[in-house]
Amino acid sequence: VGEHGFQPAAGAGVNLAFGAGWLELFGEVPYAVPHPEVCSSGTADALAAAFGPPADAPRRIDAGIIHVLHEAESDGHCHLPRAELAERARRLLGADADDRIDELAARGRLVIEGDRVFDPVMHAIETRLARHVRALTDDEPRLRLGAIERPTGDLAPTDAQWAVLRAVLERRLAVLTGGPGTGKTMTMRALVDLLHAQRRTVRL
């Protein structure tokens, strides 16, 4: 293994994490052992070439596709466009991966929606979250408050901030976005002050 760049000193940690048969696992299913746990990406690819199946073997391409998708998840992406997934996998594997995406989807290992490709677990999470958001947006407001007056003075909210405050108070779900300096913190402070004036508690 050393001739391919894997340092023997790292073996103890890998054995502890994955068991003594990790190299056999790596040979059978390349990229099954996450790169950071073993070595650099280039060294892991060298190990895959030395100990894994041929470059065009379906199981190698399948493992590479799933690896690419999981790497994207670690970067904060819930899915990848199909063309981007296929291109990333091609760069990693040196082989065309597009046909294998359909095969993995047919076997339930990927989910395809339009041009988007998901890991099944991530797709289930996103679907459940979407249902919950839809239920909140469709539901009647639950917060019962007395008369609310718009604050005045130096800390009075702008028209846009007041619209946000009303949305939060009158709906089950509101989303506040904006770049730095647009007044998100000021809006939240005004919201908390309004609710405290109504003798309500707030959790942030």
pLDDT at position 135: 95
Secondary structure of residue 167 in the 3-state scheme: helix
pLDDT grade, residue 95 (50/70/90)?
Answer: confident
Question: Average per-residue pLDDT in the chain?
Answer: 81
The half-sphere exposure of 151 on its side-chain side, counting CA atoms within 13 A, is 21
Query: Which of the four pLDDT bands, split at 50, 70 and 90, describes residue 77?
Result: very high
Mean pLDDT of 114-134: 96
Q: What is the CA radius of gyration of the chain?
A: 25
Give the helix/strand (H/E) hosting 81.
strand 80-81
| 95-118 average pLDDT score | 95
Q: What is the mean pLDDT of residues 14-35?
A: 56
Closest alpha carbon to 34 in 21, 49, 18, 20: 18
From residue 159, how far is each of 165, 190, 196 by CA, in Å?
10, 13, 21
User: Which pLDDT score, from 0 to 100, does residue 33 have?
Assistant: 47
At 35, the pLDDT band (50, 70, 90 cuts) reads very low
